Amino acid sequence: MEPIPVATSSPGLPQGDALTMAGVEELFEVAGALRRGHFVLKSGRHSDRYLEKFAVLQYPSLAVEIGRRLAASLIDRDPTLVVGPTTGGALLAAETARQLEVSLGRTVRGVFAEPMERGARALRRGWPVSGADRVVLVDDILTTGASLAETVRAVGLAGATPLVASVIVDRSTGPVEIGCPIVSLGRIEITSWTADECPSCKRGEPVVKPGSSAAS
C-alpha cells in the first residue's frame, strides 16, 4: 500500500522513505512524544518515561503515516467500518478508514465510541451498524485494554462483532483480553514502580501528572 504524501513545515520530522521506514518508537521520539522525567500514571504507579500520544497526532504527516500502517494491518479483514474510542481512537479511525478506502476502492466508514456512565461506551451519533458490517477497532496506546474492551461492548450493543483491534503501541505488561484479537504496530517498554519503590521519589524529584501543568 503506497503512502499518501503530506507536506509538513516541521523540518525535524522524517519525510519520504525515512518516514515510511521509521520505527514506531522513532516516530514518538522525533515528535517529542516519548517523554522522560518523573511521572505518575493513571494507575497511580510512577515511571521515568511517558508516551504522549497527542504529541504525535498533532503532526499531519505522522498521523497519516500511522493511519497507513494501521490500515495495512487491517486490510486483510476487508473492513467496512473502523471504530476507535475517543479521543485518540477517533482521530485514528477517521484516518485509517480514509487509507482503507484508497486501497479497497470503496467506502469505509470511521466512527468513534464515546464514554458513558459507569465505565461504558456507546456509538451515540445515529450511525447505522449491522451484523453485516465488518468492524475493526483502532486505538493509540494499549496498556490495560479497558478502552478497547468498552468499545467492543459498544459495537456489540450496536449490532456487530469486532473482528480485530489494531493499536499504535503495545505497552501492556501481561495478557490483555478485550473480546477480539489485538495487533500492534510496535512495542515500547515503560517500566513503572509503586511510589515506595520509585527511584525518582527516593531522589526527591518532583512528580508530574501527565495532562496537568502542576507537579506534586
In a domain, 148, yes or no: yes
In a domain, 2, yes or no: no
In a domain, 1, yes or no: no
CATH for 23: 3.40.50.2020
Distances (CA, A) of 121 to 84, 172, 214: 11, 21, 29
In a domain, 208, yes or no: no
In a domain, 44, yes or no: yes
DSSP-assigned beta bridge partners for residue 192: 47
Q: Are 76 and 88 in contact (CB under 8 A)?
A: no
Residues near 66 by Cβ (< 8 Å), separated by ≥ 6?
A: 27, 56, 57, 92, 95, 168, 185
Place of cell 490495560: 144
Residues near 17 by Cβ (< 8 Å), separated by ≥ 6?
A: none
Amino acid 137: pLDDT: 98
Domain limits for position 142: 16-202
What's the domain count of the chain? 1
Amino acid 212: pLDDT: 52
Give the Cα separation of 118 and 120 in Å (integer): 6
Low-confidence ranges of the chain (pLDDT < 50): 1-9, 11, 213-216
Amino acid 42: pLDDT: 79
For residue 67 the three cell numbers come to 493511519
Rg (CA), the chain: 18
**Nearest alpha carbon to residue 139 among 100, 98, 96:** 96
State the average pLDDT for the chain.
Answer: 91
In a domain, 100, yes or no: yes
In a domain, 6, yes or no: no
Amino acid at 93: A
Amino acid 213: pLDDT: 44
DSSP-assigned beta bridge partners for residue 182: 165
For residue 131 the three cell numbers come to 451484523
In a domain, 110, yes or no: yes
Give the Cα separation of 129 and 139 in Å (integer): 19
Amino acid 214: pLDDT: 39
DSSP result, 75-121: GGG--SEEEEETTHHHHHHHHHHHHHHHHHTS--EEEEEEE-GGG-E
